[in-house]
Amino acid sequence: MINILKRLNIDAIEKKKEQFWFKANWRKEQTPSVKCEHNLFYDFGEGFGGNTVDFIMKYFSISFLQAVRWLQSEDVIFSFDPPKQNVFHETKKEKQYHVERIQLLQNKILIEYLDTRKMNIEICKRYLIEVYYKIKDRKYFGVGFRNDQNQFEIRNKYAKMCLGIKWFTWINYSNKSIVVLESWSDFISLLTLYPNYEKSKDFLILNSLSMLSKVDHVLNIYSEILFALDNDFAGSNATENCLRKWNSTGARCKDIRYLFHGSKDINDFLILKTKASD
């Protein structure tokens, strides 16, 4: 793992004995939240980890076979031995943060951050909160979005992470139709663009594409499933797989990314549209 990180020009921000801490390239963050130890990694920001192949899959957003081919092309010798269970057990038990307080959204700095992303602030106040927390004795605060494990997705100008267990958020108004999105920023952006959706649809915010494997019991109850995942390789691949899977069950499934055609996600589309109208 250390050799792989060096080949990818990923430098350790902090080293402790055999621990190698670095920042996740798949999100913006100031505090390193990914730990490498004993040829395994664990991402505390999203609550997952694995071996070298798992890391390459995550780093490049590619499939298992593509990750293996990349490693082979780099002449990397790696093992498919299962990870040492005691290492992961200890890693998962480590708590790197402490939530000090939670309150209604009112901090001017956070509201200005949301405003730069062109989200409707009144809608934000209905679904987002302020979270004040500590990591390694350093104090931080950010916009918080609660998942169904009562943990928090945290965002601010400098950080994108999860405090606690990574999980999805199901917003259930008992409608027959549900919209599946990758992040809360997509959810808020969708309601900003199409406010009528708020009460006419239910919503499943994955908070990570990896959560797709855990949401069958939610999607099973809907007659219409609308997928609004990102317009990137991972999002397109996941959308194709979901349409194939859920249409075979008799559900009415649609890819609604035409709503933000030409943009990576709904928030990017919202920002561009707002700037164009200004």
Hey, what amino acid is at 265?
Answer: D
Q: How many residues does the chain have?
A: 278
> Which tops the pLDDT comparison, 6 or 223?
223
Angstrom distance (rounded) from CA 190 to CA 270: 8
- Whether residue 176 sits in one domain with residue 153: no
Task: List the beta bridge partners of residue 134.
Answer: 98, 139
Residue 63 has pLDDT above 60, yes or no: yes
* The two structure tokens encoding residue 222: 């809907």
Q: Measured between alpha carbons, how far is residue 274 from residues 114, 125, 155, 163, 185 in Å?
A: 14, 20, 21, 31, 15
Residue 85 has pLDDT above 50, yes or no: no
224-227/177-181 β-pairing:
parallel
How many domains are contained in the chain?
A: 3
Other C-beta atoms lying within 10 Å of the C-beta of residue 15: 11
Q: What is the pLDDT of residue 128?
A: 97
The predicted pLDDT at position 40 comes to: 86
| Token code pair at residue 55 | 């890391």
Give pLDDT, residue 75. Answer: 61
Phi-psi region of 143 (alpha: psi -120 to 50; beta: other; left: phi over 0): beta
CA distance 208 to 235: 11
CATH number, residue 19? 3.90.580.10
- Same-domain status, 88 and 102: no
Same domain, 230 and 186: yes
Confidence at 110, pLDDT banded by 50, 70, 90 = very high
Mean pLDDT of 255-278: 92
Task: Show which of 93, 123, 148 is a domain's final residue.
Answer: 93
Q: What is the 3-state composition of the chain as percent helix, strand, coil, each rounded to the nearest 5?
A: 40, 25, 35
Name the pLDDT band for 268 (thresholds 50, 70, 90). very high
Q: Is the pLDDT of residue 93 over 70?
A: no
Average per-residue pLDDT for the chain: 86
Whether residue 152 is found in the same domain as residue 81: no
For the chain, the maximum distance between any two Cα atoms, rounded to a whole number of angstroms, is: 56
Say what the pLDDT of residue 159 is.
83
Question: Is 147 in the same domain as 182?
Answer: no
Which structural domain, as residue segments, surrounds residue 271? 169-277
4 pLDDT band (50/70/90 cuts)? confident
pLDDT value at residue 177:
97
- Which residues touch 278 (CB under 8 Å, ≥6 apart)? none
Lowest average pLDDT, out of 26-35, 98-107, 202-211, 243-252, goes to 26-35
- Which of the listed ranges 21-30, 90-99, 166-175 does the model predict with the highest average pLDDT? 166-175
pLDDT, residue 13, reads 72
CATH number of the domain bearing residue 273: 3.40.1360.10
In the three-class reduction of DSSP (H, G, I as helix; E, B as strand; rest coil), residue 269 is classed as helix
- Report d(CA 144, CA 162) in Å as an integer: 9
Amino acid at 38: H
